[in-house]
Amino acid sequence: MIRVQREDFDSGAELARFSQGKTSVGGICLFVGLVRDYIGHDPAAGTPVQAMTLEHYPGMTERQLEAIEAEARKRWPLEDALVIHRYGRLEPGDRIVLVAASSAHRDAAFEACRFLIDWLKTKAPFWKVEHTQEGDAWVEAREADEDAAKRWE
């Protein structure tokens, strides 16, 4: 299941609903991405982020996320998969994305969850602009994200 939305989601409620009534599920792996309050890898040296705005390509976003979910289901024996991605203005600490995978056994759940977020980062048409005291700056794609996605090719 894919959801692209402006509004926040409740990670706990999503987790509870995800396996409700499915007694063949042996494990769930769930990842939640948040807005970090600085740019870069070093909190002390990084530029503070006041907020960010996520833009997306309505239509293509859903299409790409559905393709990513279908690919995960093809690769692993999943009971279920869930991707929720937000757009619009978000502040530090806000939830951006949730991906979850459930399976009879943990290996498939862990691997599929990692796959979903890695592929989403390089294939789903979202763009972040960070708002800082120095002005607005479009986030540039990271080579590390490309490398993470390539592991699954």
Partner 1 sequence: MKVLYFAWLKAKTGMAEEDIAPPAGTTTVGQLIEHLKTLSPGHAAAFETLSVVRVAVNQDYGGLDTPVKAGDEVAFFPPVTGG
Residue 43 in contact with partner 1, rule: CB under 8 A? no
Q: Which residues contact 126 (CB under 8 A, 6 or more apart)?
A: 54, 55, 56, 61, 85, 87
Q: Which stretch binds partner 1 (CB under 8 A): 6-14, 16-24, 42-50, 53-61?
A: 53-61
Q: Which is nearer to partner 1, 25 or 101 (CB)?
A: 101
Residue choice 81, 109, 113, 120 for contact with partner 1 (CB under 8 A):
120
Q: Which is nearer to partner 1, 79 or 121 (CB)?
A: 121
Distance CA 125, CA 21 (A): 33
Touching partner 1, residues 76-95 (CB under 8 A):
85
Distance CA 81, CA 30 (A): 10
Distance CA 44, CA 35 (A): 17
Residue 55 in contact with partner 1, rule: CB under 8 A? yes
Secondary structure of residue 26 in the 3-state scheme: coil
Q: Which residues bind partner 1 (CB under 8 A)?
A: 33, 54-57, 59-60, 63-64, 85, 96-97, 117, 120-129, 138-142, 145
